[in-house]
A and B are shown apart, each in its own frame.
Chain A
Amino acid sequence: MSYLELLKLAMPEAIVLVTALVVLTIGLTSGRRTAEAEAITGNARAAKALCTLVAAVGLVVAIGSVLMLPQSSNLFGGMLVISPLNSLFKIVCLALALATVLLAISDKSVRHYAEYLATLLFAAIGLMLLVGSEELLMIFIGLELLGLSLYVLTAFDRTSIRSAEAGLKYFLFGSTASAFTLFGISLIYGLSGSTALAGIAPKISEAAHQPLLAAGIIMTLVGFAFKITAAPFHLWAPDAYQGAPASSGAFIASGSKVASFVVLGKIVLVGFATAHGSANWHAMIGGWSPLLAALAALSILLGNFVALAQTNVRRLLAYSAVAHTGYTLIGIIAGTSAGFAAALFYTTVYAITLIGAFGVCGAVRAETGDDDLKNFAGLSTDSPFLAGCMAIFLLSLAGIPPLAGFFGKFYLFSTALSRGPSQGLIWLVAVALFGSFISLYYYLMVLKTIWVDRTTAQHPALHPAASARAVLLVTAVAVLVLGLLPESLVRQITFSLR
């Protein structure tokens, strides 16, 4: 394999990397002092616009280069795998990064804009490495690159103590979880003699029921449970979602989660395929599926009940994210490719929805100073556009048809039930339905504040930048269209899993 060929296959990552460096250079040459100054000079503003433009163009070109990749290829025993599934989710991750870049331009809490964008682009490379690899070491490197970039993005708002606190919490929990994962990986490697996912499965079937294997699986999963905010590993999420700059929050809640679900699915369905076990109610068998089922049930119940008590919208979204993680896990627990497809559909829709919801929160925060529930009062009169978008996002999260969240839930639960003749996962589906019934209350309370409550304070200037408005419009339309015509994405995902 020549380097030229390698470069061809790693082209999307290379493009994003070069873009990040160019953005950094622009930031350096335009001078930091001007950006530090309170009054932003025309020069700095031009540099900011240029950075955004370069980043956006770079991401679009990267998406194009993903489309140009060959159908399938496998380098270095799974370190870089190109398959329809990986390419599809590279595109999804890049698109989410693009949306975040466009949202970030109206985020006033972000200084040193070029560095912010560059870090964001590094995180995007982390996502692509995660999605594009089927080898445990490479996956770990991807996790770390993503994690370290996200810690920085979280703590980026230097004026806010909340942001610093969120960054520190995220970092402490994250590094602990990474340590667990690395230790788990080492155990798995010791048992199977391989770090490639495809090589692990046959080996661990011989080693079934070893306590060491159980420890290896559990520890590996801890790191991912942290990334996807499954309870009880969710403790960082409320602070990170609330304290981080809105665009960072959007990226953590969407891109990081999608990529983690893709990798988690691949690890357990390919690598640990032979240790599936069973999560059926009366016939639990040891393996990773009862483990994930316990996490899912706990996440659904805890996330929904705690969300009921929240008064900050982003914090509320964080707890609801925990619950949505629980729903999504059900598809993976089913252990079939249909279940995985449903989980991927759900998490993609969820990511699109959350990008939009964080965009609205960011706009409200920029104008009214915060994004507590009371700051949303009367939003429908101040800005019908933002209020309408938020209604679509929240109703989709609540699973109201004809929005995409509803179809996603139906798809997810029906595939989970159709595993095996006895419908053994029905207990988990019932828990999920109960959880989504509870979630209606808090989503409706936000909508009530937006549409019913009236406030004396006037905020006529609720107009985010044009690019942010475009992102909101596109995400809202996407949520509606994916609900009315889900076939397009479903076909893409099921085809790529074949």
Chain B
Amino acid sequence: MIAWTIYTTFAAAICALFAPRSFARWIALLATTAGLSITCVTFAQTPIRDLAQFKTIVQVPWVPALGMNYHLAIDGISLTLILVTSIVAVSAVLFSWDVDLRPNEFFFWLLLVVGGSYGVFLSADLFLLFVFYEVVIVPKYFLIAIWGSTNKEYGAMKLTLYSFFGGAFIFLGILATYVAAGSLDLNQLAQFHFPSQLESWAFPVLFVGFAVLAGIWPLHTWAPTGHVAAPTAGSMLLAGIVMKLGAYGGLRVAMNIFPHGFQIWRNTIAVFAVIGIVYAAAVALRQRDLKFVIGYSSVSHMGFVLLGLATANALGVSGAVLQMFSHGVIGALLFAVAGTMIYRRTHTRDLDQLSLLPLRQALPFAAFVFVVASAASLGIPGFSGFAAEITILIGAWKSYPIAVWITGIGMVLVAAFTLRALKKSFFDAPGGTASASSAVSSPSFEPITLPEKIGAGLLMFATLAVGLYPGVLLDRIKPAVESMNFLK
């Protein structure tokens, strides 16, 4: 049944393109809500023990001559990522409720990103996975170049070229894998014994290709510019879903197929991950543009995912998957506040200018959401970020104790820039009577709308629920991770 998330989303994308203007957003909302419902029902109905293996749900021959199948499968990892995709998709549609410029095309591209992402997370055929993966990239270009803001054409092109640069690596890796093993089935490939010489070069080629999209340092620079240039829904999808595609591909394809190559290269990955965490956090501390702060924080948080993957133990990798969920929700929430709640109303994202505005009084709901999102982002217990990062760090302690110490510095920096952004944007308004008078003089901000409240509420609920009871996801992720090849 979960396969219907793909079909409904793509069907809705086509409907949204040809529907009358005012219907497009309703179609998008309907499709994403349907996706969320399907995911929730599957989540509730599938027994946990069925999620330990990458279990086939659909398998139809596609191009038998070349051994390609339309093959979908699901396990705990996929289901977790499908869940975050559907949550972020619904709230992204809600946060673009007021898109007035060419709405049909906007929701068409948006739904293509969402549908392609569902496809990647469910694919059990390497070729199919790559098809869905590339389907996601082109829509991002148009979403940013047409509906974006600051420096949008540059940001869009940079993001797209980086993505396709990674895509070319993945393509080469897939070709090498296919030619060597004669199969494209992920489960079969995981059992195949490749020559160790092939593993030692094919693994980095595949992993780097995927890691570009996950924002690995030093190939992360597309992420901040892309996030800043994108419209709100675009940055939400980018941070919430698209960056996860890269990390997921690294785990599901590169690490699972080439366990020996992974063993050779995992120390290098860990080094890059730790540098990414600390470096991006340090850069974020110096940014003036609120979206740049959040963009770099995304890179920093994705560094945790890569560190978790590099630990190569069940705890660390499970933590990485949980972090993908957690950052997906929190990142989307932060961009929603910055892009729609603040920027659309104040027309500035400059922290120094924002600090002069009495935003806390004018937009109390936005202040509330931003406090929650910041708390979640900097790892306060009770939110999903804490659960994920602590799991990763425990896992990393077993493999790389030094990395944990260095990451500690990174976490302090994360706290510093998050609190700085929070203070400057909401809690820095001139005090006393001056604040009261300016609050009176600038009541022009339109209040937070209902769709925005629902969208923010959904994301806050997700991070809080998983933060309070991480087991709901971890119980499903961990068996799936344990059944993977590189742990055996």
Contacts and interface: CB of A to CB of B under 8 A. Distances in A.
A421 B160 CA distance: 35
A448 interface: yes
A486 B132 CA distance: 16
Contacts of B131: 401-402, 406
B383 interface: no
A487 interface: yes
B172 A433 contact: yes
A407 B118 CA distance: 21
Contacts of B137: 400
Contact of A414 (B130, B167, B179): B179
A440 B65 contact: no
A258 B303 CA distance: 49
Contacts of A429: 172, 175
Interface in B397-424: none
Contacts of A411: 66
Given A423-B179, A436-B168, A448-B145, A400 B63 contact: no
A441 interface: yes
Contacts of B153: 448, 452
A410 interface: yes
Contacts of B175: 410, 413-414, 417, 429
B135 A418 contact: no
B283 interface: no
Contacts of B135: 400-402
Nearest to A388: B17
Given A401-B131, A430-B172, A452 B146 contact: yes
Nearest to B132: A401
A490 interface: yes
A487 B145 contact: no
A437 B164 contact: yes
B380 interface: no
A483 to B, nearest CB: 9
Interface string A402-424: 10001100110110011000010
B141 A414 contact: no
Contact of B161 (A395, A423, A440, A486): A440
Contacts of A417: 175-176, 179
Contacts of B172: 429-430, 433
A494 B157 CA distance: 39
A402 B135 CA distance: 7
A452 B109 CA distance: 14
Given A406-B131, A418-B179, A494-B65, A452 B160 contact: no
A411 B138 CA distance: 22
A451 interface: yes
A487 B63 contact: yes
B62 interface: yes
A444 interface: yes
Contacts of A402: 131, 135
B127 interface: yes
Contacts of A414: 66, 175, 178-179
A241 to B, nearest CB: 25
B112 to A, nearest CB: 11
Q: Which of B134, B153, B164, B180 neighbours the largest number of chain A CB atoms within 10 Å of its CB?
A: B164
Contacts of A395: 138
A298 interface: no
B165 A437 contact: yes
A326 B167 CA distance: 20
A39 to B, nearest CB: 40
Nearest to A410: B127
Interface in B40-79: 62-66
Nearest to A493: B65
Contacts of B134: 400-401, 406
Contacts of B95: none
Contact of B141 (A401, A437, A444, A490): A444
B171 interface: yes
Interface string B153-191: 100010011001101100110011011100000000000
Contacts of A401: 130-132, 134-135
Contacts of A426: 176
Contacts of A400: 134-135, 137-138
B142 interface: yes
A281 interface: no
A131 B109 CA distance: 43
A448 B63 CA distance: 33
Query: Size range of the interface on B?
Result: 20 to 34
Contacts of A487: 62-65
Nearest to B171: A433
Contacts of B142: 451-452
Interface in A186-201: none
Interface string A442-467: 00100010011000000000000000
A268 B157 CA distance: 42
A334 to B, nearest CB: 12
Interface string A375-391: 00000000000000000
A486 B68 CA distance: 11
Given A423-B176, A452-B145, A486 B63 contact: yes
A417 B173 CA distance: 12
A429 B179 CA distance: 13
Contacts of A407: 63
B152 to A, nearest CB: 9
Contacts of A491: 65
Nearest to A409: B171
Interface string B74-107: 0000000000000000000000000000000000
Interface string B108-141: 0000000000000000000100111011011001
B63 A490 contact: yes
Contacts of A444: 141, 157, 160
A490 B65 contact: yes
Contacts of B180: 423
A99 to B, nearest CB: 26
Interface string A46-82: 0000000000000000000000000000000000000
Interface string A285-298: 00000000000000
B124 to A, nearest CB: 17
A417 B181 CA distance: 12
Contacts of A413: 171, 175
B75 to A, nearest CB: 24
Given A433-B172, A448-B153, A440 B164 contact: yes
Contacts of B66: 410-411, 414, 490
A303 B175 CA distance: 24
A134 B132 CA distance: 43
A491 B66 CA distance: 11
Q: Which of A410, A433, A494 neighbours the largest number of chain B CB atoms within 10 Å of its CB?
A: A410
B66 to A, nearest CB: 7
Given A395-B138, A426-B176, A429-B172, A440 B160 contact: yes
Interface in A107-151: none
Interface in B332-391: none
Nearest to B133: A401
Nearest to A434: B168
A406 B164 CA distance: 13
Nearest to B146: A452
A451 B156 CA distance: 13
Contacts of B145: 448, 451-452
27 contacts: A395-B138, A400-B137, A401-B134, A401-B135, A406-B134, A410-B66, A410-B171, A410-B175, A413-B171, A414-B66, A414-B178, A417-B175, A417-B176, A417-B179, A418-B179, A429-B175, A433-B168, A437-B161, A437-B164, A437-B168, A440-B161, A440-B164, A448-B157, A451-B142, A487-B63, A490-B66, A494-B65
Listed from nearest, the 4 A-B pairs whose CB atoms lie closest are A401-B131, A417-B179, A437-B168, A433-B168
Given A406-B134, A437-B167, A448-B145, 14 more contacts: A400-B137, A401-B135, A410-B127, A410-B171, A411-B66, A414-B175, A414-B178, A429-B172, A433-B168, A437-B164, A440-B160, A441-B161, A451-B142, A487-B63
